Structure 1
């Protein structure tokens, strides 16, 4: 099905509901197209003709929202790119197209001045969307550039404490043109399934529901649009069933992320039987085992190790939950180094047996009482600081007040010393 499968009347009704289709992807909460005067103004900033794909988009809609997944390699990571906004003039917050363009102009001028060069005032790239300030999508607008029209993703690096994420800003190419870039947008899960976790589709489906309840959108058209939208789903289950999954690395990564997301040890076993090799990064800089530990998917983590997935030395530092003792033993035997921070996390979550197992470690590697005490004191200080903020109404914490207090109490009461 393509946009041609909608009749002219249906396209008109979708437009009345502020929904547009571009390159077989749905744009909702769509804004009016740019005027000829505004297009001429932007073209003047770029120093030449705007690439025809971008011109087509802006003549259709000047902005709106997207509800798709996009994952791509960046500096050795597999990074999720948040491209859920198309910037438009007059938006509040982070989505204003003209303000982003002026921001880029200021940066370009500053860069030229830093190099002692004169700037002609023309932009080589234009920001068209992304998510707030941390993820942005650009189109190359320099008409003399060899990659004119190419679509780039920029992602902001996070502090080192954010394990598994980019720790420096990075840029990568999505596609050679905007239509191809839109086709890279996909759905990793079925929008109509209800796994309980947040889905990129949630806000779009809520928008459709609101348009039906309050703006007269016909259910039949909403259902047809939903079916069209779901065609962007990526299917790894068919290749798994027919024995070809291992030949498709991107689908392998997605299948592993699904197994971890559902903490499904049985699925890990099926992937192993299909000769999937559990190596390389699957999310951020995480390999399969580290990703499972970071997500608290302990059944999947055990199954992955049993299937031959490697265990990195600092794997235990991914633990933030009630780690099962058997898994603690398995991780240590597989090469994970004992970690004072992991011990403190286990204690805070009530997994004191696992904390002691990690502390004892393996022959030649253990955690000293002094190292544990320092890690526990640091964590306790953070918990007490967050508790005070929650009590003062300045912080909403995922543990809530009761959880913060319980974690702190466990750390205060636990006593650790290495056996002689």
Structure 2
């Protein structure tokens, strides 16, 4: 018997089950439904081109569906993409989480595709959806009996408009694992939920669920703590690998460490990662690399450390500015490959960094640009964007991370600036 199955006693597992918590392949499912009735399993099987894989049958016989709260990252289109696999679809769920609703959707698409290709269709699916997040991310299992990877699990991600920088702009597909159990094993934690690096983190939803079950429904605190300890076994230990000198050999783990350094402004960690031969230029979040992330988070110590280590500077990185930065750092970024632009100037001005805006303007001028002619349209466009957001915030139609005061402050910076 696997070690994870020995973690809890039968009595403890029964108590957890009574609080909507199920365990499968070493991972925690909460808001878990009862096992799927055999009639529903048979109905799903009836629309599949081949047999349901044993792993999916085992999952459904444990729980018809529920919620997950882990990290999952895959390479898609050259990007490092975070996959939101937060739901296991189940019949009778509302909206985006309804299993039969997604099956019907896939059947409709398959029929349309066959008609467009002038091919006969047998009315069955080769790929069965069973989890994901809203309409943006979906998890499938291959049920085509002729497919060489029958039983493997795939992740589909919806492409977003070009305005979403660093994101996929075309629908994309990637393999999660060769089996349902393997797909669950791929779920992990990048940060310790008991010591999170930011305000939003994997584990937050589960911890809130356990707190509510304890305070309002009597889940014993000792058992809740034991479940959290079990859950935290999915934490990937990049710190240990860094100490052991093996981090650079595990690309995914190295990326986790570098993301942490970039977003927490940890210059010492950047230096340690560079010394450990970690690739400092790889995509870490979509197409964004370490300097992209550090600049967008206002992590100026980490940015300087990355520059010291020779990390590549994306040409458009200055358009990521969202906090005031020193003109000296702006000059370093420009010297290392950042492209000056009127849009970057406007963002610097709005963020309260007029000296950095002037450094960018001087670089534009040195390249022969008419700075004022270029800057004024960029200034007007960003000012309009801020004023539109402010109107929506005041009207109660928008919640903005800057708030009304922050939006007004940025607009005033733009109005007051003179080149």
Q: TM-score, normalised by structure 2?
A: 0.96
Per-residue deviation, 1:48: 3.4
1:221 maps to 2:223: yes
- For the Cα contact (< 8 Å) 2:33–2:66, is it kept in 1? yes
Cross-structure match for 1:398: 401
Q: How does 1:326-341 map to 2 (within 5 A)?
A: 326-341=328-343
Cross-structure match for 1:414: 417
- For the Cα contact (< 8 Å) 1:339–1:367, is it kept in 2? no
Cross-structure match for 2:111: 109
* Pair 271,47 (structure 1): closer, same or farther in 2 beyond 3 Å: closer
* Pair 236,263 (structure 1): closer, same or farther in 2 beyond 3 Å: same
Per-residue deviation, 1:365: 6.3
- For the Cα contact (< 8 Å) 1:343–1:355, is it kept in 2? yes
Q: Note the alpha carbon deviations across 1:238-271, whole angstroms, 9 max, x for none.
A: 1211222222221211111000121111211122
Cross-structure match for 2:273: 271
Secondary structure in 1 aligned to 2:96?
Answer: coil
* Pair 324,366 (structure 1): closer, same or farther in 2 beyond 3 Å: farther
Alignment partners' CA distance in 2, 1:367 and 1:237: 50
| Paired residues, number | 416
Unaligned runs of 5+ in 2: none
Alignment partners' CA distance in 2, 1:229 and 1:367: 58
- For the Cα contact (< 8 Å) 1:135–1:155, is it kept in 2? yes
Secondary structure in 2 aligned to 1:280?
Answer: coil
- For the Cα contact (< 8 Å) 1:359–1:367, is it kept in 2? no
Unaligned runs of 5+ in 1: none
Per-residue deviation, 1:348: 0.6
Secondary structure in 2 aligned to 1:403?
Answer: helix
Cross-structure match for 1:212: 214
1:191 maps to 2:193: yes
- For the Cα contact (< 8 Å) 2:34–2:64, is it kept in 1? yes
Secondary structure in 1 aligned to 2:359?
Answer: helix
Per-residue deviation, 1:367: 6.4
Q: TM-score, normalised by structure 1?
A: 0.96
Per-residue deviation, 1:143: 2.2
Cross-structure match for 1:47: 49
Cross-structure match for 1:307: 309
Q: How does 1:22-101 map to 2 (within 5 A)?
A: 22-101=24-103
Secondary structure in 1 aligned to 2:95?
Answer: coil
Per-residue deviation, 1:335: 1.3
Per-residue deviation, 1:383: 1.2
Relative to structure 2, which stretch is displaced further, 218-227 or 242-251? Answer: 242-251
Alignment partners' CA distance in 2, 1:132 and 1:40: 25
Cross-structure match for 1:375: 378
Alignment partners' CA distance in 1, 2:370 and 2:184: 50
Cross-structure match for 1:290: 292
Alignment partners' CA distance in 2, 1:70 and 1:194: 17
Secondary structure in 2 aligned to 1:94?
Answer: helix
Alignment partners' CA distance in 2, 1:48 and 1:255: 41
